[in-house]
Amino acid sequence: MKPLVFAGPSLHGLALAKPAAYDLAPPASCGDIMRAVLAGRTVIALIDGIFESGPSVWHKEILFALSAGCHVLGAASMGALRAAECWPFGMIGTGGVYEDYRIGRRSSDADVALLHGPAELSYRPLSVPLVDLDDCTNRMAAQKLITSATRWKLQQAARSIYYKVRNWEGLLTAVDIAENKQQILLDWIAASGPAAKARDALDLLETLTVPLSRAAAPIPFQHTRFSDQLLRSLESRAR
């Protein structure tokens, strides 16, 4: 059985290498990882997950998968968050966003949050997450498109804007960048290639195109009342 990848906005508009090597599923919600284990998946990759429109992926689901001997990988968005929290138990995290959370450079879940369209629009991103904004402004400064002071202003202003309405046009206007300069920066952003989340997501997919090393010895799994209820509800639906 192929690896199963839960993804959405982090992969929007990207050309995927060897897409036949894995199965793509929508952003994960509570129960999806446990359901995948019950269906026989042995490699599960978490990139995107829901967090406001419904219950998010539980940590206990990941521990359940690891206890069953599954490889569980995470990157970019919800996957980076869960990998930073569950790597001591065997979850595999990849990419810069994951590493930032793992070492404590980032701590807020909101840094990866964004508004996106529905499945019918291929989960098109409709706002800019902070991790991508920081990445782009850092690269702009490195290429001397903006000064370090402007980079700081952009990054600070972004943190005062609600994630659902954060976009480049509004942000560049908020820090009083001239209109002609705004267009230069917008053109650069459009042509600069994948930002942080997308690069990490692509790196994770690349790891799935080659055989993974043998999974670590399964960890013991201790059911709670809630994880037991979730498991029983999934098993009953599968009958």
CB atoms within 10 A of CB 130: 21
Res 138 pLDDT > 90: yes
Name residue 192's amino acid: S
Cα–Cα distances (Å) from 228 to 31, 37, 53, in that order, read: 12, 15, 23
Q: What is the dihedral of CA 99, 104, 108, 113, to 10 degrees?
A: -10
| Closest of 66, 101, 54, 68 to residue 196, by C-alpha | 101
Residue partners of 135: CB distance under 8 A and separation at least 6: 195, 196
Average pLDDT over residues 147-151: 96
In whole angstroms, give the CA distance from residue 89 to residue 71.
Answer: 11
Would the CA dihedral through 136, 142, 148, 150 be positive or negative? negative
pLDDT in tens, 168-202: 999 999 998 999 999 999 999 999 999 999 999 99
CA-based torsion, 114, 42, 103, 151: positive or negative? negative
| Confidence band of 216 (pLDDT split at 50, 70, 90) | low
Q: Look at residue 120 and tell me whether its pLDDT is greater than 70.
A: yes
Angstrom distance (rounded) from CA 106 to CA 200 = 16
- Give the pair of three-digit tokens for residue 237: 């639906």
Q: Residue 215 — pLDDT band, cuts 50, 70, 90?
A: low
DSSP string for 4-28: EEE-SGGGTTPPPSSGGGSEEEPSB
Domain boundaries, the chain: 4-114+197-223, 125-193
Q: What is the pLDDT of residue 229?
A: 87
Residue 75 contacts residue 201 (beta carbons within 8 Å): yes
Report the length, in residues, of the chain. Answer: 239
Model pTM score: 0.93
Q: What is the model's pLDDT at position 83? A: 98
Could you count the other beta carbons within 10 Å of the beta carbon of residue 122?
13
